């Protein structure tokens, strides 16, 4: 079993060898891609940052509307994995940051992933997260992540091309999530991130048309939290590598719930859009108070307690 917390400080965790000052991470898709933006992140007290998913060639993404805001902190998005491509992003990721940067990778085939990882040879990233779970782009994300054989091949391809830690981000598609997580772990993934947004749609009742230009998008935010907690709980029992929880985390209580279910760290996405970057400080302050109140020495001590 890989590290599920270290004793260096009360909030410090180490996942796949990546030391984080606390267990909170930016989820992929919520960070501008410029150097300046990544530097600003150093000031918000996140434990790590996952970039927007990057493909080898740039992707323009879908036409507007790309996001539907639902009540109370939930969203449906179909941005279409818009990103500048590997060459443009590797220039941005060649600077060192004090917050570990994890580059999210997106591709359709072993060939795609292999040339993608090669293009980040000079990057200062601390690791990679393979997005095998975007729910709304043809031939990418879930369409790869729903095929266990392909998942194994992609993870092995990337692991053989880098010595850095590789996380695999899973989601709710047509395949068995637990099987996909197990295949990813058995193929060398250093952690499993669960979950991505969940296929959903919204229809405008006046016009009768789906609201998103892509019609189908991914549901995120508060309303998916109980589903994501369940996924983390089940994956934790299935794999021997750390699980990173993601889905509807807005408060320190949410973070604690994910950790009790088995998350060694938590990724925060929609809460950044809803509440701003201060969410990292409020979650880490609350988590620290909780650990101290329980007389615990490290955040790792609460990971998986709900399984007892
Ligand atoms: C606008 C938007 C863009 C996203 N882009 C990505 C992406 O590029 N790669 C990825 O792996 N996940 C992406 N996600 C999914 C999030 O990283 C996260 O898994 C999901 O939103 C659930 O977490 P949350 O409820 O905290 O937002 C995106 C989500 C949103 C709302």
Closest by CA to 293, choosing from 262, 267, 243, 256, is 256
Give φ, ψ of 170 to 5 degrees: -105, 165
Residues whose CB is less than 8 angstroms from the CB of residue 290 and which lie 6 or more positions away in sequence, other chains included: 252, 256
In terms of C-beta density within 10 A (0-12 exposed, 13-18 middle, 19 or more buried), how is residue 26 classed?
buried
Residue 4 confidence (pLDDT):
44
Cβ atoms within 10 Å of 207's Cβ, excluding its own: 8
Catalytic hit among 134, 223, 231, 246: 134
- The protein residue with its alpha carbon nearest to ligand 1, atom 19, reads 196
**DSSP 3-state of 178:** helix
Residue 33 confidence (pLDDT):
62
User: From the alpha carbon of 141, which atom of ligand 1 is closest?
Assistant: 11
Q: Is 231 a catalytic residue?
A: no
CA 197 to ligand 1 centroid distance, Å: 6
Distances (CA, A) of 91 to 61, 163, 240: 21, 20, 35
**Tens of pLDDT, residues 159-205:** 999 999 999 999 999 999 999 999 999 999 999 999 999 999 999 99
User: From the alpha carbon of 53, which atom of ligand 1 is closest?
Assistant: 8
CA 102 to ligand 1 centroid distance, Å: 14
- The protein residue with its alpha carbon nearest to ligand 1, atom 22, reads 247
CA 170 to ligand 1 centroid distance, Å: 12
Residue 184 confidence (pLDDT):
98
**Tens of pLDDT, residues 132-154:** 998 888 888 888 899 999 999 99
Residue 91 confidence (pLDDT):
79
Strand partners, 13: 20
Domains and CATH numbers, the chain: 13-307 (3.20.20.70)
Ligand 1 pocket test: pick from 197, 257, 277 the residue with the most ligand atoms within 8 Å of its Cβ: 197
The answer for 282, left when phi > 0, alpha when psi is -120 to 50, beta otherwise, is alpha
| Ligand 1-lining residues (CB < 6 angstroms) | 27-29, 52-53, 67, 75, 77, 79, 81, 104, 131, 134, 169, 196-197, 220-221, 224, 246-249, 268-271
User: From the alpha carbon of 28, which atom of ligand 1 is closest?
Assistant: 17
Distances (CA, A) of 111 to 106, 118, 186: 12, 11, 21
Residue 3 confidence (pLDDT):
45
**DSSP 3-state of 245:** strand
Distances (CA, A) of 45 to 6, 21, 128, 281: 18, 8, 20, 6
In terms of C-beta density within 10 A (0-12 exposed, 13-18 middle, 19 or more buried), how is residue 97 classed?
middle
- Whole-structure pTM value: 0.96
Distances (CA, A) of 226 to 123, 142, 195, 229, 243: 36, 21, 11, 5, 16
In terms of C-beta density within 10 A (0-12 exposed, 13-18 middle, 19 or more buried), how is residue 295 classed?
exposed
Return per-residue pLDDT of the chain as tens, 308 residues. 334 444 458 999 999 999 999 999 999 999 876 777 767 788 899 999 999 999 999 999 999 999 999 999 999 999 999 999 999 988 777 777 789 999 999 999 999 999 999 999 878 899 999 999 988 888 888 888 999 999 999 999 999 999 999 999 999 999 999 999 999 999 999 999 999 999 999 999 999 999 999 999 999 999 999 999 999 999 999 999 999 999 999 999 999 999 999 999 999 999 999 999 999 999 999 999 999 999 999 999 999 999 99
């Amino acid at each position: 079993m890989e590290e599920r917390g270290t004793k260096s400080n009360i909030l410090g965790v180490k996942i796949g060898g990546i030391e984080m000052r606390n267990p909170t991470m930016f989820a992929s898709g919520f960070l501008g891609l410029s150097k300046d933006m990544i530097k600003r992140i150093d000031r918000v007290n996140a434990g790590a940052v996952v970039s927007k998913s990057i493909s080898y060639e740039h992707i323009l993404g879908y036409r507007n509307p790309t996001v539907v805001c639902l009540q109370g902190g939930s969203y449906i998005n179909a941005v279409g994995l818009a990103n500048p491509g590997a060459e443009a992003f590797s220039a941005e990721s060649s600077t060192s940051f004090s917050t570990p940067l994890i580059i999210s990778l997106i591709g359709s085939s072993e060939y795609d992933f292999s040339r993608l990882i090669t293009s980040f040879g000079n990057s200062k990233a601390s690791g990679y997260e393979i997005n095998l779970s975007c729910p709304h782009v043809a031939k990418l994300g879930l369409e790869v992540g729903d095929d266990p054989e392909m998942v194994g091949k992609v993870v092995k391809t990337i692991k053989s091309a880098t010595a850095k830690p590789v996380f695999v981000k899973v989601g709710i598609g047509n395949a068995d999530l637990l099987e996909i997580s197990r295949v990813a772990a058995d193929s060398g993934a250093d952690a499993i991130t669960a979950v991505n947004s969940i296929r959903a749609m919204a229809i405008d009742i006046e016009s009768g048309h789906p609201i998103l230009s892509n019609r189908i998008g991914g549901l995120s935010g508060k309303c998916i939290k109980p589903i994501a907690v369940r996924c983390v709980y089940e994956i934790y029992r299935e794999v021997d590598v750390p699980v990173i929880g993601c889905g509807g985390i807005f408060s320190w209580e949410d973070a604690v719930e994910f950790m009790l279910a088995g998350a060694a760290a938590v990724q925060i996405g929609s809460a950044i859009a809803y509440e701003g970057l201060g969410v990292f400080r409020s979650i880490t302050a609350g988590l620290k108070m909780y650990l101290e109140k329980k007389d615990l020495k490290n955040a790792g001590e609460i990971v998986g307690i709900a399984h007892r």
